[in-house]
Amino acid sequence: MLERFTNRFIRALHWATIVIEVLVALALVALAAGALFALARELFEMAQGATVLTTVEFNKVIGTILEIFILVELFRIAVAYMRRVHVVPTVLEAALVAVARKFVVFEGGTNYLMTAVGLSALLLAVATSWWMLAHSGALEDIQDD
């Protein structure tokens, strides 16, 4: 009796997990579509104004483009997770895109040097993690799956 209840409960949790995974993937697609729409609107408004982009406007456009790439990487992570494949390489790729976005649209604020050092350390950590993963042979094992 208890075993049958436990099996049903585990099956229900399994289906709940699948539903949550699908909802997260759909939310990421909706966010990416919204970001693409916002980017198209921004570019259209800039074209209508026929003015030269300022540094702030340029950083805003590039930041939006890189945010879309981050959403795409997160969607790839969700799909890989749903397919039950290794997600570590995809997570590291998303981390590299996110850190690269921060470098491209770098805004140091009041403490420019500390922000730059922190971003550099973060980039070094992600790159080192990727290098260690690649040299451990784990990437080849994952690609063979």
| pLDDT tens track for 116-132 | 888 889 888 988 888 88
* 3-state SS track over 2-44: HHHHHHHHHHHHHHHHHHHHHHHHHHHHHHHHHHHHHHHHHHH
Residue predicted with more confidence, 6 or 144: 6
Q: Tokens representing 131? A: 């290098």
Up-side HSE of residue 33: CA atoms within 13 Å toward CB?
6
- Note the pLDDT of residue 138: 66
In the prediction, which pLDDT does 108 show? 63
Residues 85-111 have pLDDT tens digits of 878 877 887 788 788 777 777 766 777
**Domain spans of the chain?**
2-144
Q: Which of 14-18, 33-37, 51-55, 66-70 shows the lowest per-residue confidence on average (mean pLDDT)?
A: 51-55
CB 86 within 8 A of CB 80: yes
